[in-house]
């Protein structure tokens, strides 16, 4: 087989490199690959459906040894080994000559440091991983900054613009962001732009009661506009000939038909940047408008092609169903190679501590109980369906069936959304009844003179009541002016006398920095876990030291109390496409989803003796269940099916025992003898 001379040159270049993986990949590219794809009619591989086409070669012992040395790296490059007719065959879905370049691109998209020089104002220094982000943008131009929240995506965008300004001071940039972030962007630009004379314009819908005119930026400058009014100024913007456009919180264009999305896609600006820690809040199809924005109409995949490839898209009698997920590893790799840089806090800021979540139940008496009963009556038609889904979810978790886990999670989210809508009036009233209890707890916490508190509500009515009871001023909600919201957050950050801030999840849960506190109180739930994660992370940002405590306050038997377990577990699943993926495309096997830290901790406490004790405890609880009408003991309605299934087994696997241990911890007071013999004290800590 002839070898491409370019590959030999590539290998020679790489032997001078100190990276051993790159040197080995250069060798691997020189293997006797088939010159074109080979058709495999009877095999399914890397999540691809039969039949499949791939490049391949039959390795000898030395070549197979090299493959094994590189197996983890090659898995990310969609290369694997398949046994065919009893012999190993190395298979690659992409041209083998691209392996080294793809590896370098993937490494670039995860880089945590860079030696490049980027201009910055006096006294301002980019962190190493921010330099790496700017370096990625230099290489790719159109870039999605998808770092986990708190890693300074705004600074990386401004640093990229500084890089451009350094070449030509008359370059201009348009920033599109949510309305409440416009002042924050202006402040960050004033801090980080290398030319303090660069004009910065905030575009509002009206000025002194009259429609605002769009500022001229043809000779340089920055214009900041919010998504909601962008469509009014498209012609003016395109006439300004901006050089760069940056979308902040770009997940806001997730719906292709939305007016704001259509306005963004109508922009004729060549250099395109976007930022979001959660570019797909719920499902992969939400990425397509961002991809279309970044790559343009000619280079972006057509919507239906993208949906079929990555969203499990299929035609139904009711239209296109694109709510699923398929080929997540391939999607992630393509995004990283093409336009996305994403680093996790754990990868670049080892000093950031993890969050601790604590669920606190409040007493439900009198009117509270009555409203909870009314809420449950409305919720009841959905409860059996949700309960069955949660049993399926638990079984998928125990069996580690990731496909089933994600499918059931999606169904569960839809059912919960419908149910929450039907109980909205009761939720508002419960939030008002909860407010005095939250305020009392907050006052106790504030007895520590060094402590500051962040309190989130879902409904503005509750926020106002809590603020009045604490004397903390107006809460940050949708009725507050953007400038006042910004001032309230700034005061909380910088004024030692301002020790508590109250706001709704919608108005204060995204895009603001509240790191003056390491204690977050969430008075009400938003059913969307991605939104809850964003709210939690207001206190979990760059430079934060110590543990961040997040407390959820619930009424027992309320719908919130039934949601909380699934909600917290689902928070760990949302990053599947960006950080994990559901299928290991190099081996055809399913990759493990990102597990809940809680479950991993339970599993770490399981020994053979614990397995036996857990089974005994589950059997006792199941027996109590049979006489529940007499003494109200045993499993709850939602835990009963899975509890009985585990109790009926002759022995438990480690994963089953971990799940059972979690159940026993929940019901530990009912079986004190067994509970005392288990490591439950460690779990409580």
The pLDDT of 454-467, averaged and rounded, is 93
Q: What range does the domain containing 608 cover?
A: 597-684
Bigger pLDDT: 684 vs 402: 402
pLDDT at residue 640 greater than cutoff 70? yes
- Does this model's pTM top 0.85? My answer is no
pLDDT of residue 207: 64
Please report whether residue 23 resides in a domain: yes
Tell me how far apart the alpha carbons of residues 286 and 136 are, in angstroms, rounded to a whole number: 23
User: Domain end: 546, 580, 614, which one?
Assistant: 580
On the 0-12 / 13-18 / 19+ scale of CB atoms within 10 A, 480 is buried
Of 151-160, 333-342, 390-399, 522-531, the range with the lowest mean pLDDT is 390-399
Q: Which residues pair with 143 in a beta bridge?
A: 273
Q: pLDDT above 70 covers what percent of the chain?
A: 84
Bigger pLDDT: 332 vs 540: 332
Same domain? For 201 and 75 the reply is no
Same domain? For 59 and 166 the reply is no
Same domain? For 204 and 325 the reply is yes
pLDDT of residue 576: 36
User: Domain end: 348, 367, 382, which one?
Assistant: 348
pLDDT of residue 598: 58
pLDDT of residue 208: 59
Please report whether residue 117 resides in a domain: no
Tell me how far apart the alpha carbons of residues 298 and 672 are, in angstroms, rounded to a whole number: 66
Q: Which residues pair with 246 in a beta bridge?
A: 175, 273
pLDDT tens per residue, range 556-577: 788 887 776 556 555 544 333 3
How far from each other are the two terminal CA atoms of the chain, in whole angstroms? 63
Tell me how far apart the alpha carbons of residues 669 and 408 are, in angstroms, rounded to a whole number: 31
Same domain? For 149 and 234 the reply is yes
How many folded domains does the chain comprise?
A: 4
User: Domain end: 527, 545, 580, which one?
Assistant: 580
pLDDT at residue 291 greater than cutoff 90? yes
What is the DSSP track for 228-293? Answer: GGGGGGHHHHHHHT-SEEEEESGGGG--TTSHHHHHHHT---SEEEEE-S-SSSS-GGGGHHHHHH
Same domain? For 392 and 489 the reply is yes
Most confident of 44-48, 82-86, 646-650: 646-650
pLDDT at residue 605 greater than cutoff 90? no
Cα separation values, 374 from 32, 182, 405, Å: 71, 42, 31
Tell me how far apart the alpha carbons of residues 273 and 28 are, in angstroms, rounded to a whole number: 35
Q: Which residues pair with 144 in a beta bridge?
A: 274, 340
Query: Which domain CATH number covers 505?
Result: 3.40.50.300
Of 108-117, 242-251, 440-449, the range with the lowest mean pLDDT is 440-449
pLDDT of residue 199: 92
pLDDT at residue 501 greater than cutoff 90? yes
pLDDT tens per residue, range 372-422: 999 989 988 887 887 788 778 777 777 767 777 778 777 877 887 888 889
Please report whether residue 340 resides in a domain: yes
Sheet holding 340-341, edge to edge: 200-202, 221-226, 172-177, 244-248, 271-275, 143-145, 340-341
Please report whether residue 572 resides in a domain: yes
pLDDT at residue 16 greater than cutoff 80? no
Same domain? For 401 and 315 the reply is no
Binned at pLDDT 50, 70 and 90, residue 264 comes out as very high
pLDDT of residue 497: 92
Same domain? For 30 and 179 the reply is no
**Please, what is the average pLDDT of the chain?**
81
On the 0-12 / 13-18 / 19+ scale of CB atoms within 10 A, 656 is buried
Please report whether residue 112 resides in a domain: no
Same domain? For 91 and 167 the reply is no
Please report whether residue 585 resides in a domain: no
Q: What are phi and psi of 456, to 5 degrees?
A: -110, 135
Of 53-62, 117-126, 357-366, 562-571, the range with the lowest mean pLDDT is 562-571
pLDDT at residue 664 greater than cutoff 50? yes
Bigger pLDDT: 614 vs 572: 614
Same domain? For 323 and 362 the reply is no
pLDDT tens per residue, range 312-329: 888 888 878 888 888 887
Query: Which domain CATH number covers 226?
Result: 3.40.50.10810
Same domain? For 516 and 638 the reply is no
Query: Which domain CATH number covers 81?
Result: 3.10.28
CB 70 within 8 A of CB 92: no
Q: What are phi and psi of 326, to 5 degrees?
A: -150, 150
pLDDT tens per residue, range 476-492: 998 999 889 999 999 99
Same domain? For 91 and 126 the reply is no
Of 150-159, 240-249, 324-333, 372-381, the range with the lowest mean pLDDT is 324-333
Binned at pLDDT 50, 70 and 90, residue 581 comes out as very low
Of 84-98, 259-273, 459-473, the range with the lowest mean pLDDT is 84-98
CB 145 within 8 A of CB 376: no
pLDDT at residue 645 greater than cutoff 80? yes
Same domain? For 326 and 407 the reply is no
Please report whether residue 137 resides in a domain: yes
Please report whether residue 150 resides in a domain: yes
Of 85-99, 638-652, 668-682, the range with the lowest mean pLDDT is 668-682
């Amino acid at each position: 087989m002839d070898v491409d001379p370019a590959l030999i040159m590539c290998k020679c270049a790489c032997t001078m490199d100190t990276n051993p993986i790159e040197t080995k990949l250069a060798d691997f590219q020189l293997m006797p690959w088939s010159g074109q794809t080979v058709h495999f009619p009877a095999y399914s591989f890397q999540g691809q459906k039969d039949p499949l086409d791939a490049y391949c070669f039959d390795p000898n012992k030395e070549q197979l040894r090299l493959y094994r040395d590189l197996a983890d790296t090659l898995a990310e490059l969609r290369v694997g080994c398949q046994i065919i007719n009893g012999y190993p065959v190395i298979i690659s879905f992409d041209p083998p000559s691209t392996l080294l370049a793809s590896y370098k691109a993937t490494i670039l998209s995860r880089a945590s440091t860079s030696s490049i020089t980027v201009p910055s104002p006096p006294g301002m220094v980019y962190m190493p991983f921010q330099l790496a982000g700017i370096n990625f943008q230099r290489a790719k131009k159109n870039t999605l900054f998808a770092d986990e929240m708190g890693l300074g995506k705004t600074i990386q965008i401004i640093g990229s613009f500084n890089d451009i300004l350094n070449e030509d001071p008359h370059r201009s940039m348009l920033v599109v962001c949510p309305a409440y972030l416009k002042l924050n962007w202006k402040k960050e630009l004033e801090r980080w732009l290398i030319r303090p004379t660069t004009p910065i314009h905030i575009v509002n819908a009206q000025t002194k009661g009259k429609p605002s005119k769009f500022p001229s930026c043809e000779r340089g400058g920055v214009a900041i506009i919010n998504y909601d009014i962008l469509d009014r100024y498209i012609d003016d913007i395109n006439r300004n000939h901006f050089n760069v456009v940056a979308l902040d919180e770009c997940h806001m264009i997730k719906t292709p038909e939305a007016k704001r999305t259509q306005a963004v896609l109508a922009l004729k600006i060549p250099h395109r940047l976007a930022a979001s820690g959660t570019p797909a809040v719920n499902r992969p199809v939400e990425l397509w408008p961002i991809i279309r924005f970044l790559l343009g109409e000619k280079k972006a995949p057509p919507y239906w092609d993208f949906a079929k490839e990555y969203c499990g898209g299929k035609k139904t009698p009711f239209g296109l169903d694109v709510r699923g997920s398929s080929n997540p590893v391939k999607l992630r790799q393509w995004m990283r190679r093409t336009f996305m840089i994403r680093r996790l806090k754990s990868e670049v800021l080892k000093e950031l501590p993890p969050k601790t979540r604590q669920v606190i139940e409040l007493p439900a008496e009198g009117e509270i109980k009555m409203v909870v009963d009314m809420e449950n009556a409305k919720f009841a038609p959905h409860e059996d369906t949700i309960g069955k889904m949660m049993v399926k979810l638990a079984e998928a978790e125990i069996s580690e069936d990731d496909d089933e886990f994600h499918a059931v999670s999606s169904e569960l989210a839809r059912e919960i959304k419908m149910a929450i809508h039907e109980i909205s009036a009761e939720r508002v009233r419960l939030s008002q009844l909860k407010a005095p209890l939250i305020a009392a707890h907050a006052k106790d916490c504030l007895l520590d003179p060094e402590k500051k508190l962040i309190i989130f509500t879902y409904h503005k009515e509750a926020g106002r009541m809590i603020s009045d009871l604490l004397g903390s001023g107006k809460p940050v909600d949708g009725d507050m002016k953007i400038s006042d919201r910004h001032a309230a957050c700034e005061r909380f950050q910088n004024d030692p006398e301002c020790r508590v801030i109250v706001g709704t999840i919608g108005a204060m849960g995204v895009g603001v920095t509240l790191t003056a506190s390491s204690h977050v109180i969430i008075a009400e739930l938003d059913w969307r876990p991605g939104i809850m994660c964003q709210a939690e992370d207001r206190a979990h940002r760059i430079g934060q030291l110590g543990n961040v405590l997040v407390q959820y306050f619930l009424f027992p038997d309320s719908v919130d109390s039934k949601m909380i377990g699934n909600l917290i577990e689902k928070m760990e699943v949302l990053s599947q496409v960006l950080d994990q993926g559901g299928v290991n495309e190099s081996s055809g096997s399913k990759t493990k989803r990102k597990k809940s830290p809680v479950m991993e901790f339970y599993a770490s406490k399981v020994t053979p003796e614990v397995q036996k004790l857990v089974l005994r405890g589950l059997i006792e609880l199941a027996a109590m269940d049979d006489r529940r009408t007499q003494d109200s003991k045993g499993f709850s309605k939602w835990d009963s099916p899975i509890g009985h299934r585990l109790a009926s087994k002759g022995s438990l696997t480690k994963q089953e025992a971990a799940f059972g241990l979690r159940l026993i911890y929940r019901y530990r007071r009912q079986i004190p003898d067994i509970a005392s013999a288990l490591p439950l004290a460690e779990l409580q800590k």
